[in-house]
Amino acid sequence: MGLKALDYETLNENVKKVQYAVRGELYLRASELQKEGKKIIFTNVGNPHALGQKPLTFPRQVVALCQAPFLLDDPNVGLLFPADAIARAKHYLSLTSGGLGAYSDSRGIPGVRKEVAEFIERRDGYPSDPELIFLTDGASKGVMQILNCILRGQGDGILVPVPQYPLYSATISLLGGSLVPYYLEESANWGLDIDNLRESVAQARFKGITVRAMVIINPGNPTGQCLSEANLREILNFCYQENLVLLGDEVYQQNIYQDERPFISARKVLMDMGAPISKEVQLVSFHTVSKGYWGECGQRGGYFEMTNLSPQTVDEIYKIASIALSPNVPAQIFMGLMVNPLKPGDISYEQFVRESQGILESLRRRARLMTDGFNSCKNVVCNFTEGAMYSFPQIRLPPKAMEAAKKAGKVPDVFYCLKLLEATGISTVPGSGFGQKEGVFHLRTTILPAEEDMPAIMSSFKKFNDEFMDQYEDNWNHSRM
Amino acid sequence: MRRFVIGSARSLIERSRQNYQSQRPLISSSYRLLSSTPAADSPSSSSSTMAPPVALNTINPKVIECEYAVRGEIVTLAQKLQEEIKTKPDAHPFEEILYCNIGNPQSLGQHPITFFREVLALCDHPTILDKSETQGLFSADSIERAWKILDQIPGRATGAYSHSQGIKGLRDTIAAGIEARDGFPADPNDIFLTDGASPAVHMMMQLLIRSEKDGILCPIPQYPLYSASIALHGGTLVPYYLDEATGWGLEVSELKKQLETSRSKGITVRALVVINPGNPTGQVLAEENQKAIVEFCKQEGLVLLADEVYQENVYVPEKKFHSFKKVSRSMGYGEKDLSLVSFQSVSKGYYGECGKRGGYMEVTGFGADVREQIYKVASVNLCSNISGQILASLVMSPPKVGDESYESYSAERDGILSSLARRAKTLEDAFNNLEGVTCNKAEGAMYLFPRIDLPEKAIKAAEAEKKAPDAYYCQRLLTATGIVVVPGSGFGQVPGTWHFRCTILPQEEKIPAIVTRLTDFHKSFMDEFRG
């Protein structure tokens, strides 16, 4: 006699609306094929260690020692661990309230937050308050917490770049808010146009939406562009005029592959601009241990820093954080190690630098390799990956290909990416997962496959692409005759 | 300032809604002209008349409404006092703050299980597995287990995002552990590994709650994650009262009554939360009771949300933990009969690994289309932390008889559990010896939830300070003794009754001093307020 308790029909509508292509259709198909024995190259997510990048040695040594503090009492521990790792493990353990197994302060271990504040001060030249820094289980959780705080309902809009990392669109859907898109200009190196921004806001307001916040991803994901200081000033001025809180996703700040536009934080520019803007514009900045040259995605370590939010608001955010009790402690230690790195003279310093530089230099080379590789393909145009971890080539699909896609019941870029997957094992994410201008198609891949595998991957892609284009263009040419 | 009393939530909603409605509307064209000089505009268009985008009166009212007393006001005060003692040791009549507010065993000196930490350390730094020195520092079976786990992780990359439900091999291990525990099979595809059990609870609330018309049946008293999560997701908490007089008994007749009442108010009740063993109440359900609950959910079409995080914490020989999965399967009920979500965590038990944020939910009895949606929501966060996933698999498959580490492991485990049982009894007796205080036995979990009959004078004193009476008692207790407990209003209680929750976690050697201080304080409190 039982009634069905939870049917698809009775699910929260907001959940149904959520899309997250990074682990959507292409990824699921790739996983299926992998199970069938096909060799798959997963380039769907920024997951460096899954593609062979090795973890940095020093942090792993420190956290292993923190996991098993009885090692520190063993006289032979020095045979396996260098003295500076041992010292650092003791340092972090002393900052916890009972080791890795105790809930920390809901905002994160105070001593680690202090290290984060010191890092921010060294980076930007302005003091930072540890009380306004909250550690989170990955930057994504932080983004969700802040958006949950801002969004009251459908009437609230968040300005999000298109293309964007779909955490933003998914979270806004989940929370029942409205996404207000602003388009990045591909032909201008994925640049941001203030007039376009203003128009987006005006349109949203015309529809009765209160625009509350603006998201910037710098360096961009999937687009990779690095914002200039002038860009950031423009954006901050815009937020000041339009009364928006700026959400600065800066998780790729270590991943910079050109020298013209080094990373500059939104906070630094804000402070540089002086009063009244520096005292009034509200800003939340996000960072993580998942990207950079660390790539410690699996740890789930991140933080957000709040600027110009009232103490009462901070209090409410703290309250919500406290329901989850605390972020995971091992990741907090990774965060501490990331913001408080080794110094010249430390025993492990040279190895650390060698490992880090090695990774960054290789990423820089791969960014170039991939961009050039895509640009050598028929009907493919690709902006240079200035930063982050992705390449986002534009695929100019012939009309016949689009027809074939329609027949197959698929969006054109999904169709292309599925064919690519089946032919080459390269698993990408279709551009529609990130948003793009109407009728323009892309795919996102990462620059993370091992350097030695890159040439083969790029030539495999080129072979597929050029054959695909020949196939669908030939038909077209043929029909013209 | 945070408030505890759940009953005041309604006035809170009212207030926050009023704030929202009275917020100054932003005029569509009221932005300043872009100029390089500071704006010298007329007052009507300057931003100083606009509320900042994120302010107390413009943030999500559900955030304002939700409450979580476990880390609420009293803890903030305790931290303040702790700072004061640091700088001035004589500032207060106690030397240290004793945090009895939160189930955080290792913060109070409980040691982690050595075998678990050995395996985790090796998985964090697999490079040393090849070194001969490692054999001298780690047990052989921890090395073996680390290898086994690493082989289940693609590329042995513990720093990579895993499958969004968690590493498959670890889910296999957990499913096997569930089967060994229950005697009924478990499917690794039903398991979702999460950063602690709490995010899994949030996920289910997100799926279940469409609007304030959707209700979730929750025990009163309850662990306030549930009330907070329901508030955050905009649903309605439908309370069912546990019966203090019968050891916090759960009566199906009470469930039925509350269900009918809420349905008559137009609420669609979607799920039933059962915490077993109970938090804060500590009761372990009898199997017959569980069968009646399963039957109730099946008949009424409710999802059964079984919070079983304290499954390893049972202190009385006459009771045993039975999972709801086992109970329902033993009744012959399968996937088609009952929608059941079972939550487990690495934070409690004898392992107490709160800081690791490890846990899982086992989801059974849902259609494929619903499961797809659960997967989708999980995928937005990519995955839970890998170390926590590994730990969850260790908890569900600890060393067995014959393993090298078995003896030391079981000695550690039994030591912790027997100590917890002793502390539960000692504190229960101590509370029952206080004037006007009755305390049910803690059959399981980590808490005692004594009831205090507060004298009228004390209640008036509390009102004068605009505090709930139990909050007032707890604050007085804190400032006199340094002991931090959580007022009962943070968990819910029958109106007009007062309780507080105290953990059984301070180290055994500290317990006598705690009992003495508590007893002395209570006597002087009663002397002050006895009518």
The minimal CB distance from B380 to the residues A47, A76, A167 is found for A167
Q: What is the pLDDT of residue B2?
A: 32
Q: Who among A10, A50, A60 is closest to B125 (CB)?
A: A60
Q: Once rounded to an integer, what is the mean pLDDT over residues B151-172?
A: 96
Give the helix ranges, DSSP H, for B340-452: 368-380, 386-396, 406-432
Q: What is the ipTM of this complex?
A: 0.95
Residue-level pLDDT at B12: 34
Contacts of B104 in chain A (CB under 8 A): 98, 102-103
pTM value is 0.93
Average pLDDT in the B20-26 region? 31
Q: Which residues of B touch A97 (CB under 8 A)?
A: 107
Check CB contact under 8 Å for A323 and B154.
Answer: no
Contact between A143 and A372 (Cβ < 8 Å): no
CB-count burial class (<10 Å; 0-12, 13-18, 19+) for B419: middle
β partners of residue B51? none
Please report the pLDDT score of residue B28 as a whole number: 28
Q: Measuring CA to CA, which residue among A288, A118, A149 is closest to residue A219?
A: A288
Measure in Å the smallest separation between the Cα of A343 and chain B Cα atoms. 22
Are the Cβ atoms of A149 and B54 closer than 8 angstroms?
A: yes
Q: What are phi and psi of B343, to 5 degrees?
A: -110, 135
| The predicted structure's pLDDT at residue A3 | 54
Average pLDDT over residues B67-94: 90
Number of Cβ within 10 Å of residue A481's Cβ equals 4
* C-beta separation of A296 from A50 below 8 A: no
- Retrieve residue B183's tokens: 């005697």
> What is the distance between the alpha carbons of residues A160 and B278, in angstroms, rounded to a whole number?
44
Q: Among candidates A205, A220, A211, which has minimal Cα distance to A150?
A: A211
Longest dimension (CA), chain B: 82
Range scoring the smallest mean pLDDT among A18-27, B74-83, B318-327:
A18-27
Which of B21, B30, B60 would best serve as a mutation to test chain A binding (most A beta carbons within 10 A)?
B60
pLDDT band at B43 (very low <50, low <70, confident <90, very high): very low
Q: What is the pLDDT, as a whole number, of residue B254?
A: 97
Q: DSSP H helical segments within B152-245, as ranges?
A: 168-182, 197-208, 225-232
Q: For residue B427, give Cα distances in angstroms to B97, B249, B424, B521.
A: 18, 21, 5, 15
pLDDT of amino acid B11: 37
Other residues' Cβ atoms within 10 Å of the Cβ of residue B12: 17
Please tell me which residue of chain A has the smallest CA distance to B107: A98
What size, in residues, is chain B? 531
Q: Output the 3-class SS for A71-111.
A: HHHCHHHHHCCCHHHHHHHHHHHHHCCCCCCCCCCCCCCHH
pLDDT in tens, chain A (481 residues): 345 678 888 999 899 989 888 888 999 999 999 999 999 999 999 999 999 999 999 999 999 999 999 999 999 999 999 999 999 999 999 999 999 999 999 999 999 999 999 999 999 999 999 999 999 999 999 999 999 999 999 999 999 999 999 999 999 999 999 999 999 999 999 999 899 999 999 999 999 999 999 999 999 999 999 999 999 999 999 999 999 999 999 999 999 999 999 999 999 999 999 999 999 999 999 999 999 999 999 999 999 999 999 999 999 999 989 988 999 999 999 999 999 999 999 999 999 999 999 999 999 999 999 999 999 999 999 999 999 999 999 999 999 999 999 999 999 999 999 999 999 999 999 999 999 999 999 999 999 999 999 999 999 999 999 999 999 986 545 444 3
Q: Which pair of structure tokens corresponds to residue A218? A: 């710098």
- More confident call, B188 vs B44: B188
- pLDDT at position B25 is 29
User: In this complex, do A243 and B50 lie within 8 Å of one another by their Cβ atoms?
Assistant: yes
The residue extents of the domains of chain B are 69-96+417-529, 150-395
Chain A residues with CB-CB distance to B131 below 8 A: 80
What is the length of chain A?
481
Spatial distance between the Cα atoms of B192 and A175, rounded to a whole number of angstroms: 22
Q: How confident is the model at residue B7 (pLDDT cuts 50, 70, 90)?
A: very low
In chain A, the residue whose alpha carbon lies closest to the alpha carbon of B40 is A276
Supply B318's token pair: 């006459």
Contacts of residue A324 in chain B, CB cutoff 8 Å? 196, 198-199
- What are the start-end ranges of the H helices in A377-427? 399-407, 412-424
Asked whether the predicted pLDDT for residue B505 surpasses 50, the reply is yes
Half-sphere exposure (CA, 13 Å, Cβ side) for B419? 19
Nearest-5° angle of CA B320, CA B322, CA B326? 155
Q: Of B500, B494, B491, whose CA–CA distance to B439 is shortest?
A: B500
Nearest to A50 among B155, B232, B301 (CB): B155
- Which chain B residues contact residue A244 at CB under 8 A? 53
Q: Any residues with CB less than 8 A from the CB of A442 and at least 6 apart, and which?
A: A163, A222, A392, A393, A394, A395, A413, A430, A431, A434, A436
> Facing residues of B193 across strands?
B360
- Phi and psi at residue A257, to the nearest 5°: -115, 15
> Backbone phi, then psi, for A98, in 5-degree steps?
130, 25
**Exposed, middle or buried, B247 (CB in 10 Å: 0-12/13-18/19+)?**
middle
Cis, peptide link before residue B61, omega less than 30° from 0? no
**A67 chain-B contacts, CB cut-off 8 A:** 117, 120-121, 124, 387
The CATH topology of domain B150-395 is Aspartate Aminotransferase; domain 2 (3.40.640)
CATH code at B69-96+417-529 = 3.90.1150.10
Long-range contacts formed by A190-199: CB under 8 A, 24+ apart: A190/A220, A190/A223, A190/A224, A190/A225, A190/A383, A191/A225, A191/A231, A192/A161, A192/A216, A192/A227, A192/A231, A192/A234, A192/A235, A194/A234, A194/A238, A194/B34, A197/A159, A197/A238, A198/A238, A198/B31
Residue B380: partners with Cβ closer than 8 Å, 6 or more residues away: A18, A20, A140, A167, A170, A171, A174
Q: What angle do CA B313, B316, B319 make, to 5 degrees?
A: 85
Q: Both tokens of residue B16?
A: 């926050």
B69-96+417-529 and B150-395 share one fold: no
A76 CB neighbours in chain B (<8 A) are 133, 136-137
CA closest to A140 among chain B residues: B381
CA–CA distance, B363 with A418 (Å, rounded to integer): 31
CA distance B423 to B443: 12
pLDDT band at B266 (very low <50, low <70, confident <90, very high): very high
* Cross-chain Cβ contact A80/B128 below 8 Å: yes
3-state class (DSSP) for residue A307: strand
Alpha carbon distances (Å) from A460 to A425, A445, B88, B371, B467? 9, 14, 71, 36, 71
- How many beta carbons lie within 10 A of that of residue B315, not counting itself? 23
Residue B504: band (very low, low, confident or very high) from pLDDT cuts 50, 70, 90 = very high
Q: In terms of CA atoms, which chain B residue is nearest residue A93? A: B107
Q: Determine the angle formed by the axes of helices A83-95 and A110-124, rounding to 10 degrees.
A: 110
Distance from CA of A97 to the nearest CA of B (A): 6
Distance CA B462, CA B489 (A): 14
Q: Is the peptide bond before A48 cis (omega within 30 degrees of 0)?
A: no
Structure-model confidence comparison of residues B67 and A411, the more confident one? A411
Q: How far apart are CA B156 and CA A50, in angstroms?
A: 9
The beta strand positions in A148-271, using DSSP E, are 156-162, 178-185, 191-192, 210-217, 245-249
Closest-CA distance of chain A to residue B228, Å: 7
- Closest CA–CA distance from residue B511 to any residue of chain A (Å): 19
Half-sphere exposure of B95 (CA within 13 A, CB side): 3
pLDDT of residue B49: 52
pLDDT digit string (tens) for B93-133?
999 999 999 999 999 999 999 999 999 999 999 999 999 99
> How many Å lie between the alpha carbon of B77 and the closest alpha carbon of chain A?
14
Paired tokens of B521: 């304080």
